[in-house]
Structures are given as structure tokens and as C-alpha cells.
Amino acid sequence: MKHKLIAMTAAFLLSLTPLTAHALTEPIVPSVADGSVHFPRDLNAADFGLIVSSNQECTVTHAENGCTFTPEEDGRYVVSTSEYCEEIVNFGTSEISGHFHYFYPVLTNYTVGVEDGEITVTEQGMKSWFSEEQIDVEVQKMNEAISAGETEAVACYSVYAAQPDDVMHGAYFSFVNGQLPTVQGDYDSYITNVYTEYGTDSYFCVNYCSADIQQDMNGNEPQRVTAEEQDISSLLTHFWTSRTCDGDLTTPSPDIMEFTRIAAPEADGDLTVLVDNLDAVYTYPLTVENGIFHHRIVISEVPADVNNDGTFSVADAVMLQKWLLCKGKLTCPQKADLTGEGIVNAFDLALMKNILLYGIRIDFDWDSPENDAENQAAAKRIGDYALAELKSGNYTLDTEVSHYNASDLMSAEMAEFYRNSDFYHFSFVDEHTVHLRMNKGLLDAYGYLITDGAVSFEMGRVTVPDEGYDGDFVQIEWIGEDLYYFTAGT
């Protein structure tokens, strides 16, 4: 705890010596190292902790020398150090005296920005609930009581400038509202975790406009914040707060908003919060794990939608590329394995870019029995053989090989391999690509495209000469190593 002795003279002089305690005059100077931000703790300070608000994931660890904040995702975080400080104040005379312990919170706010793994910390101001006026009033009251003989001695008692919860109701929430981006519409919502040495309290926080609402017959306003899974009325705290503080924690802006804080339920599980804002009902899917709120991801049905925004776009390719460079996180990693190999790598990114560039469909049947490892290996062997023969001049672009003429156009070993495979016919799309069919259908086909590394055909439309199904390939799956699986039709 921070201590400073404030002595009163025998003549009951009420002027106080100016205080120079660290918590009142200087913000904590954090340090950034190894992807974390360390907030040092004065060893004389009690109840030191962090308050973090964001919609990104993070971890906070406590040690004797302070707290370490580790952001796990790019984005913006509001991080505040919370100290509960103490001053010892004496009063009375040399014959009759006493003292009280004056407790007051001190809050210092920072914004932490993370982009491509780079961390920037900006100190945004501090607020102390220390009040010399409150101390003066208390000292004068006790001195007058001693002078009047109402008390002979006071050993020790406590005076509180504010309770710890008061920190969460004024400057802190006002500051956060102006520093975090909105999630839905113009209304702020975010998760706030209060990390102390004794545990973590978690809250989901949401602003909504204070428009008039029709009251019921008893004059009661309907409950505007509810949950699908349970009654959360006992978990709600409603109050009014400013939306921004204009950089000054003691001077909130006049933009007043109604604010609701929802405490995490005791039991872990899913919680879907509904906010009725008159113009619409906003839905916030959450989950509680070990007493802490997290945003619950509801997976979209759109293939390759790795950022889970309900559409497949360049933003998904950007997210995947950042993840491959270890500079970001995939919202839906299960949507990133476009090649179906069971791993996510640069091949998936290349295929994603081709899909975006050429607009092919990506509703692949990954489990097609024809598209297995054995057939993939056979297709690669046959295709590489055909391309080598073309390059050597043994084949021309008009060469077509089926089981009937394989002995005439292939080596004995390759002809036997080809006839024993599941493939029926191959021809050339161009000098870079072999078209290898697995069926005898005239109106549709499936099989493989094998290239020499130069993809000269247009993804989504490959015209093969003299085939009855010339036209659009309705499905193309990039397997990797210059190998593509296709199904085609008229």
C-alpha cells in the first residue's frame, strides 16, 4: 500500500501538506517485449490489477512485480491499471490524537493497438479519487469532536474516497466507449475483464440509444436486454455514461448513452444476448468459459469464408495470407483447407486467389470416391508421362490416348499401367495441360487436369477439343503439385 503521513498541529491547523505519491502524479510506464506488455507494480501498492476491454482475445498474468498483458489478435484494446492506494492521516493534539486510513482508487488508461503483431501502447490519462477536501472535512470533524469532549481517543479507522466498483461506473466506461470500434451499427459492445490477484470478473458491455419506449400499464419500461437461454435480469447493471471523454477523464462529453453491463453467469455455457433498440433487435452470441466471456463464433455456410463474415471475398485471402505469415488469426480455420489435404498451407492460399480471380464454384465434393490418393498418384504419373512425350515431339496437341490405342502410343510399361488404372482417355488442352478422364460419358466427365507448372487454362472454363461436354467446368479442385480434380458437363 502507498503510505503518506499527514500530521495535524496541536492548534488543529487544517492545511495539508501537498502529496507527492507516485500514483497521484505519474502514470505507470509499461514496457513491450516478446509480444506482451508489462505493467510494473509499485511494491507498496495494494490491489493492483488490470481492466481490459476489447472484442479480441488476450491473456493477463499476475506476478509480484506487476501484470503482463498479452494480446492474441490484431485489433484495439483498452487496458487500465487499477490501484487501490492508502494514506494515513493523523488528527488531534499531543494529549488526545488518532488517525484514519484514507483509501482511494487510481486509474490509468492506455490504448494498445496491435497490427501485424506490432504493439503500440499509448497512455490516455489517469484519474485519482483522492480528495484533500474530503480529508479536510474528516479531520475537522474529528478535531471538533475531541475539542468538544465528545471523544477522548481514536485509535484507528478507515475512510474511503470511493469503492472499487465506482471505478467501473465513471471515467473508465466513458473512456472505453470512445476508444473502441463499434461492432453493430452505431452501438458499442465489447467484453470487459477485471483482472485482480484474487480472480477475474467478466462482463459483456453494450451501449444503445436512449429513445423513448412505451411503458406498460403499470408504468414500467420493458426489459430491453435479455438472453435466449436464461433469465439474466439479476446479472444486469444499468447506468448512463458519456460516449467519449475527449481525452480528459474528468470531463465527459455531453453525448450521453444508456449503458448495460452483463456479469458472466456462474455456470459456463452459451449465452445469446438480445438487445431491443426499437429499430432492430441485435443478437450477440457469447460463451462463458471458466467464468470469462468470449465471443461465440457462429460458422457461416459460405465455403472458404475464413473470416466468417458471411461472404467469400478478398478479405478472406488477406486473412489467410496474414495467418500464413504468422501475423494474424483465422476466425474459421476449418474453412481454410481448400485443397482437402488436411493441412492449411500456401497451396490453399493460391487456390483461394484463383477462385477469386476466375470465379469458379467451390462447392466441392471432397469425399468423392474417385478423388482418392491412389488415383491422384496415378493421374500425376500418366500426366507427367504425356507432357514429357509432347515436349520430346512424340506427341502432338492432337494426340488422344485411350485403352484401345495405348499399346501403340505408349511404352509397354506405361501402357500396362494405364490400362490397369481407373482412367479411360487423355488428350491435351494445350502445351501445358493434360486432360485425363475417368468415365466414358458423352455429356459429362470427371477426372484430372495435370500441368507442367504453368496454368495456362482459365480456371472455371476449360475447352477440350472434340469433347461433347466442351464448356464450363462446374467444379475444379486443386489437389497440389500441378494436379487438379474436375467434374464437367454440358
162 and 24 housed in the same domain? yes
Domain membership flag for residue 368: no
What would the pLDDT profile of 127-144 be if each residue is shown by its tens digit? 888 888 999 999 998 888
Residues 108 and 217 reside in one and the same domain? no
In a domain, 259, yes or no: yes
Same structural domain, 215 and 141: no
Q: Once rounded to an integer, what is the mean pLDDT over residues 189-200?
A: 90
Residues 161 and 135 sit within 8 Å (Cβ to Cβ) = no
Q: Is the pLDDT of residue 187 over 80?
A: no
Q: How many other CB atoms sit within 10 Å of the CB of residue 101? A: 15
What is the count of structural domains for the chain? 4
In the numeric block, which cell numbers belong to residue 229?
A: 437461454
Each residue of 217-242: pLDDT tens digit?
454 556 778 898 998 989 988 777 77
278 and 409 share a domain? no
Sequence-ordered alpha helix ranges (H) in 155-269: 171-179
Check residue 253 and give its pLDDT: 63
Residue 34 located in a structural domain: yes
Say what angle helices 314-324 and 346-358 make with each other, to 10 degrees: 160
**335 lies in some domain:** yes
User: Does 84 map to a domain?
Assistant: yes
Highest mean pLDDT: which range of 124-138, 209-223, 332-346 = 124-138
Listing DSSP states for 403-422 in one string gives: TTTHHHHS-HHHHHHHHTSS
Say whether pLDDT at 7 is over 80. Answer: no
> Does residue 192 register a pLDDT over 90?
yes
Average pLDDT over residues 480-484: 80
Asked if residue 308 belongs to a domain, the reply is no
Under DSSP, the state recorded for 98 is E
The confidence score (pLDDT) of residue 490 equals: 42
**Does residue 40 sit in the same domain as residue 163?**
yes
Percent of the chain with pLDDT over 90: 26
CB-based burial label for 383 (10 Å; 0-12, 13-18, 19+): buried
Residues 333 and 418 in one domain: no
Inform me whether the pLDDT recorded for 120 exceeds 60: yes
Residue 446: inside a domain, yes or no? yes
Among residues 141, 168, 195, the one where a domain terminates is 168
Q: Are 253 and 157 found together in one domain? A: no
Residue 303 lies in a domain: no
Same structural domain, 204 and 289: yes
Q: What is the mean pLDDT of the chain?
A: 78
Mean pLDDT of 44-60: 87
Give the C-alpha separation, 347 to 422, whole Å: 26
Q: What is the pLDDT of residues 427-469, one digit of tens each?
A: 998 899 998 988 755 556 788 889 988 766 655 555 555 555 5
Residues 270 and 347 in one domain: no
Question: 53-62, 125-134, 159-168: which range is least confident on average?
Answer: 159-168
The confidence score (pLDDT) of residue 150 equals: 75
**What share of the chain has pLDDT > 70, as a percent?**
75
Whether the predicted pLDDT of 211 surpasses 70 = no
pLDDT value of residue 250 = 58
Q: Are residues 334 and 253 part of one domain?
A: no
Question: Closest Cα to residue 180, out of 255, 248, 244, 238?
Answer: 244
Tell me the pLDDT band of 385, cut-offs 50, 70 and 90: very high
The answer to whether 56 and 75 are in contact (CB under 8 A) is yes
Q: Which of 138, 168, 198 is the last residue of a domain?
A: 168
Residue 443 cell numbers, joined:
455429356
Query: Could you give the CA distance from residue 165 to residue 163 in angstroms, rounded to a whole number?
Result: 5
Task: Give dist(CA 293, CA 200) in Å, integer.
Answer: 11
Do residue 102 and residue 199 come from a single domain?
no
Same structural domain, 409 and 454:
yes
Whether residue 4 is predicted with pLDDT greater than 90 in this model: the reply is: no
Is pLDDT of 9 > 50?
no
Greatest mean pLDDT among 8-12, 128-132, 181-185, 415-419 lies in 415-419
Residue 15 has pLDDT above 80, yes or no: no
What's the pLDDT score for residue 95?
Answer: 80
- In the predicted structure, residue 340 carries a pLDDT above the cut 80: no
Give whole-number Cα distances, 40 to 15, 43, 120, 233, 307, in Å. Answer: 33, 9, 17, 38, 36
Q: What is the pLDDT of residue 17?
A: 34
Range of the domain at 265: 176-295
